[in-house]
């Protein structure tokens, strides 16, 4: 039976640790409790808000209605043959734990996504990605419950409409479904993707010519921990902005003015520019406003030194966006979900 709390302080459930409250709050640990929460919301005519790992969110105001904290956990192999394995992760499971499980099973496909903070359920919402790999590359299907009807529905990769750090759950179906489980299709045979610059370079520096799965996640852990703050030590919400995509004509104009501008080709007509570089060049790497600052080792990350308000976070973000727009004529787009 679910326990409903009123006027709950939910700051501790977010990695940015900006003060926030929920009008009503409950924790669900299984399907029955989830359906009970949905039924309660219908009976009491309260809207629903789903909170997973709280790692990619800024809550800027008190949340009306019932906040459901997802703690539905579990991992299981559904089906396998000589080449592939279908593996299901429950949505409240730690993403890092899930990736670690697949690596220990000798399965290929998720290793580049190791040490991304958050839950399994949040992974398809964001179409998380790192080191040249995105979730959509291994996605098979997910199961979700409609928050109005309580009915379960399966979503294929096509249904999810994955794009760069985006999916149908961030736009058209935002707030309409509770993702219950995610099933991925992983390979049994070695097929590592090591083309990404810092990953390849670090492996070479260590003299690892034929890396194993565990070599890859150890190197990724080393790279990430050297650049990114650990939320439990220095509160943050992960990368605050998406990398910036521009057409080739715009990029070539920028390149004439800034010859050292880094980039990654997306297609024959589009280029991706690291937003961290744009922020640094605009003078905001390490810049501090009150208790919040853009992290000195990775300018995409906004950190909270303690007791920051949502207003202070939004103020710094606005300054960063204005500065980048003024210098480069480019619009930064938030990756963090701002509520």
162-204 pLDDT, tens digit per residue, is: 998 899 999 899 999 999 999 999 999 988 888 877 888 888 8
Domain boundary among 22, 39, 70: 70
pLDDT grade for 210, boundaries at 50, 70 and 90: confident
- Check whether residue 80 and residue 66 sit in a common domain: no
Mean of the per-residue pLDDT values for the chain? 93
Q: What is the mean pLDDT of residues 138-156?
A: 96
User: Final residue of a domain: which of 70, 92, 109?
Assistant: 70
Half-sphere exposure of 171 (CA within 13 A, CB side): 11
Residue 119 DSSP label = B
Looking at the fold, whether 37 and 116 belong to one and the same domain comes out as no
Residues 53 and 152 grouped into a single domain: no
User: What pLDDT was estimated at residue 333?
Assistant: 94
- Give the burial class of 306: count Cβ atoms within 10 A of its Cβ; 0-12 exposed, 13-18 middle, 19 or more buried: exposed
Which structural domain range is residue 271 located in? 236-338
pLDDT at 25 over 90: yes
Say if residue 54 is in the same domain as residue 140: no
d(CA 305, CA 288): 10
- Spatial CA neighbour of 60 closest among 23, 7, 19, 24: 19
Cβ burial, residue 187 (10 Å; 0-12/13-18/19+): middle
Question: Is the domain of 177 the same as that of 120?
Answer: yes
Q: Which strands form 48-51's sheet, in the order they lie side by side?
A: 5-9, 21-28, 63-70, 48-51
Mean pLDDT of 116-121: 92
Q: Clarify whether residues 161 and 258 are in a common domain.
A: no
In a shared domain, residues 57 and 80? no
Question: In this predicted structure, what is the pLDDT of residue 267?
Answer: 85
* CATH code for the domain of 108: 3.30.465.10
pLDDT confidence of residue 181 = 98
**Predicted local confidence at residue 258, as pLDDT:** 95
Residue that has been written with the tokens 């996504």 in this structure = 113
Residue 18 — very low, low, confident or very high, per pLDDT cuts 50/70/90? very high
Average pLDDT over residues 210-230: 88
CATH of the domain at 248: 3.90.78.10
Share of the chain above pLDDT 90, in %: 77
Question: In this structure, are 101 and 180 located in the same domain?
Answer: yes
Out of 70, 99, 120, a domain closes at 70
87 CB neighbour count, 10 Å cutoff = 25
Q: What is the pLDDT of residue 54?
A: 87
| Active-site residue list | 165, 239, 335
Q: For the chain, how many structural domains are there in total? A: 3
Q: What is the pLDDT of residue 133?
A: 92
Query: Quick check: is 229 in a domain?
Result: no
Residue 301 is assigned to a structural domain of this protein: yes
21 with 108, same domain: the answer is: no
- pLDDT above 90: residue 92: yes
236-253 tens-digit pLDDT:
998 899 999 999 999 999
pLDDT digits (tens, 9 = 90+) for 263-301: 988 888 999 999 999 999 999 999 999 999 999 999 999
Position 131 in a domain: yes
What is the pLDDT averaged over residues 320-324? 97
Cα atoms in the Cβ-side hemisphere of radius 13 Å centred on 99:
25
């Amino acid at each position: 039976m679910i326990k409903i709390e009123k006027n709950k302080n939910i700051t501790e459930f977010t990695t940015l640790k900006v003060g926030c409250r929920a009008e009503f709050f409950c924790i669900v640990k299984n399907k029955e409790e989830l359906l009970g929460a949905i039924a309660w919301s219908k009976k009491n005519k309260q809207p629903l808000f789903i909170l997973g790992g709280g790692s990619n969110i800024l809550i800027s105001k008190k949340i009306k209605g019932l906040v459901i904290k997802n703690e539905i956990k579990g991992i299981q192999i559904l089906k396998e043959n000589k080449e592939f394995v279908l593996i299901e992760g429950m949505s409240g499971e730690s993403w890092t734990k899930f990736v670690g499980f697949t690596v220990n099973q000798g399965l290929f496909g998720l290793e580049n996504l190791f040490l991304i903070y958050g839950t399994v359920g949040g992974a398809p919402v964001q179409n998380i990605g790192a080191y040249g790999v995105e979730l959509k590359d291994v996605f098979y299907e997910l199961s979700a419950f409609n928050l109005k009807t309580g009915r379960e529905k399966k979503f294929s990769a096509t249904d999810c409409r994955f794009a760069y750090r985006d999916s149908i759950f961030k736009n058209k179906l935002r707030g309409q479904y509770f993702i219950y489980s995610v099933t991925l299709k992983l390979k049994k045979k070695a097929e590592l993707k090591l083309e990404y610059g810092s990953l390849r370079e670090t492996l070479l520096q260590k003299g690892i010519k034929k890396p194993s799965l565990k070599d890859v996640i150890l190197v990724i852990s080393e790279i990430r921990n050297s650049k990114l703050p650990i939320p439990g030590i220095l509160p943050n919400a992960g990368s605050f902005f998406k990398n910036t995509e521009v057409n080739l004509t715009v990029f070539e104009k920028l390149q004439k003015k800034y010859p050292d501008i880094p980039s990654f080709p997306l297609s024959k007509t589009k280029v991706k520019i690291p937003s961290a570089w744009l922020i640094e060049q605009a003078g905001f790497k390490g810049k501090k406003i009150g208790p919040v600052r853009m992290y000195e080792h990775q300018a995409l990350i906004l950190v909270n030194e303690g007791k920051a308000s949502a207003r202070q976070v939004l103020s710094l973000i606005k300054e960063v966006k204005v500065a980048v727009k003024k210098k480069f004529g480019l619009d930064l787009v938030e990756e963090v979900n701002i509520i």
